Structure 1
């Protein structure tokens, strides 16, 4: 069996989003368990300092003002990055991992690194943080809502419906990338296992043609000992997250107004101005608090009656659910994606039909009318759920078993 050496691979080497946090924290967890870590990523000004940066690929950011030649070179790298292959080969000459664990690699590193790992004989695992290994646009979402046209049809649907940022150019590049890697069968051929944090994602991938035996269900976790709960039922409902269309902010504002409840919105994003305009029209009891993190955010969660996730896309396994539970708060979640499997209906929270303003308003009214003691019981049940089902020990045990099954010494 090979050694306890982990090579973690991800586009960014800083805490940019949820998948990047998992990439870094998974590596830190394995180091605590006595593993030696290596990293492969992309150069970026916000990256954490690391000696592994000498192997990282050059920065590639789509929002920058590039010239035509640079844009064409970038597009080629998105489809197939020979630079990433070359630099990864050099890393593998200097560091022989027992297993490579991939997170988000497309667009910046590209799937071209998968055959490189396979050729080196490195067992390779990917955590599916999104739906990219099925959907070219990775969200199964476009301006028209949930979209699965590419499942049984051509990936050129992504161009026709401009599924990537509403852009013809970006959608065309992604379509070419997907056509090539579907033809080469890059993901299915070269990934040994895919970790899915939600059962919903596993079943969705299988619907799209993946074999069931490629998947291992390992749910996300929180270390509840690091969260100080407050079970007292507050007088407001809380949303915290990105203000984007798929997060359902407009549905929540309308429902809160209809229910006559107090709502606090934490976060920023592309829908911020539209939501502020809607709030000005509705005149509900809503506070927009902007971006909050750390102690400020934690205090807002502790003070809430319940946390609301009004999502309108296929969420995977939102950490915000687990964090809310850890702080002793019940969750009201849209019944879409992996959210329902994280909520024990009527025990740790409540669900409603995604996009249904009336149903959400009804749930908000009912939870506001509940005796405080009942809300507190739900918060305690949520805390117990993360301690018993979504805990560190379960995550570690399942991960080590996966690595052992791939031939890595424990």
Structure 2
């Protein structure tokens, strides 16, 4: 009887300790692989450095197949692990004990791109997969591809353009940065991107096109279309779900709603907006104050509910007709779009990046001009005033892939 295929999933955080889309995607894959016949899965998730794990950078967390890698990485310019013995000693020993057949990296931030090369050096027969969730390798500004000088969207990751954002680094510094990161990515057998938009950016940057594959993120939680409540008007009910920060566009949505309310005439249908989002209290003071003031000013048309649990999504989305994704950065494959479609909710999204790719205008949602409150207001008015639009777009929503289907496709890349 042949040995089960051993797969190590590596993430830059454990979703129980650091909530985020990439962390959750890695954990969902680890769980799905554990349930797949002929496979044995392990998770290695980064956690902050501490002295409470016996002098080794590793500790077991929650289950015998879940490990934490305790590391810090102050070198966010080269994405390099500064504590070298963690790579050539600690991580190497970990690999030799586990001996995975496949190592799937979901990130390298706070881990170091050197870990990829260490897998290739220590286990030369192992297959290496890297999922690219955003633009960290291309963009020193936390992978946003947004200019530091004026917050404008950026479409080129050249040394000269990057120097304009960060004058402390010369164009030559950025050229060396690119070469350093690419030298470690050269050992990857297959790259995965959750959107074609993201894939094309990395191909333009220099990754070999034949090794970069677009696979949509799979849903781990089985979501089915919610039953619409009798007597409601879903076309008048809007909702925002997700993290609240400068880039997610909540303040843009609030500005657009204020424009809509100001233009409503007597007898016109009025919109309601439910905001479900975490981390407002953790934002810088100016952002926090700006959003809080707008939320208060728009009561009772807007209700702020704070953080939510994923298991509560069906109930929360049953109270919404439209899910609005107003991000002012590119986004790549926002999880909330898949969740909305799984629950039968059309999406209103900015017309850029992964949002424009995932939402088909006038088929299963609507686009508006990114970063333009007036354009978003006009789109909200269209949704409000045409009662035939919402049921037509709801009927256009296609089925979303499940996690088992996605994981099978990922493993097939290195079969």
Name the TM tier (shorter chain): 0.7 to 0.9
Counterparts in 2 of 1:239-250, with a 5 A limit?
A: 239-250=240-251
1:295/1:196 Cα in 2 relative to 1: closer, same or farther (>3 Å)? Answer: closer
Counterparts in 2 of 1:203-352, with a 5 A limit?
A: 203-222=200-219, 225-231=222-228, 233-234=233-234, 235-260=236-261, 261-268=271-278, 269=280, 270=283, 271-280=287-296, 285-352=301-368
Partner residue in 2 for 1:113: 115
Q: CA deviation at 1:202?
A: 0.7
Partner residue in 1 for 2:179: 182
Q: Quick one: distance in 2 between partners of 1:75 and 1:219?
A: 29
The reply on whether 1:125 has 2:129 as its aligned counterpart is yes
The reply on whether 1:147 has 2:150 as its aligned counterpart is no
Q: CA deviation at 1:134?
A: 1.8
| Secondary structure class of the residue paired with 1:265 | strand
Q: CA deviation at 1:43?
A: 3.6
Q: CA deviation at 1:283?
A: 6.4
Partner residue in 2 for 1:164: none
| Secondary structure class of the residue paired with 2:144 | coil
Q: More helix by proportion, 1 or 2? A: 1
Q: Quick one: distance in 1 between partners of 2:132 and 2:197?
A: 12
Q: CA deviation at 1:332?
A: 0.3
1:259/1:78 Cα in 2 relative to 1: closer, same or farther (>3 Å)? Answer: same
Does structure 2 retain, via aligned residues, the 8 Å contact 1:230–1:303? Answer: no
| Secondary structure class of the residue paired with 1:12 | coil
| Secondary structure class of the residue paired with 2:41 | strand
Q: More strand by proportion, 1 or 2? A: 2
Partner residue in 2 for 1:375: 390
The reply on whether 1:50 has 2:47 as its aligned counterpart is no
1:195/1:298 Cα in 2 relative to 1: closer, same or farther (>3 Å)? Answer: same
Q: CA deviation at 1:188?
A: 3.4
Does structure 2 retain, via aligned residues, the 8 Å contact 1:352–1:360? Answer: yes
Partner residue in 1 for 2:265: none
Q: Quick one: distance in 1 between partners of 2:33 and 2:199?
A: 24
1:110/1:181 Cα in 2 relative to 1: closer, same or farther (>3 Å)? Answer: farther
Q: Quick one: distance in 1 between partners of 2:66 and 2:87?
A: 13
What is the TM-score normalised by the length of structure 2?
Answer: 0.80
Deviations 1:54-106 (CA, angstroms, capped at 9, x unpaired): 7x433438xxxxxxxxx79x999955441134222111111111110001222
What is the RMSD of the two structures over their aligned residues, measured on CA atoms? 3.1
Q: Quick one: distance in 1 between partners of 2:107 and 2:359?
A: 27
64, 88, 92: which one aligns with 2:91: 88
1:36/1:339 Cα in 2 relative to 1: closer, same or farther (>3 Å)? Answer: same
Q: Quick one: distance in 1 between partners of 2:173 and 2:11?
A: 22
Deviations 1:155-199 (CA, angstroms, capped at 9, x unpaired): 544533xxxxxxx8xxx7xx9798456236334312222101000
Does structure 2 retain, via aligned residues, the 8 Å contact 1:230–1:327? Answer: no
Choose 304-313 or 285-294, whichever is displaced more: 285-294
Structure 2: gaps (5+ residues): 51-58, 262-270
103, 106, 109: which one aligns with 1:103: 106
| Secondary structure class of the residue paired with 1:328 | coil
Partner residue in 1 for 2:22: 19
Partner residue in 1 for 2:54: none
The reply on whether 1:196 has 2:193 as its aligned counterpart is yes
| Secondary structure class of the residue paired with 2:46 | coil
Choose 225-234 or 40-49, whichever is displaced more: 40-49
Q: Quick one: distance in 2 between partners of 1:358 and 1:76?
A: 40
1:24/1:47 Cα in 2 relative to 1: closer, same or farther (>3 Å)? Answer: farther
What is the TM-score normalised by the length of structure 1?
Answer: 0.81
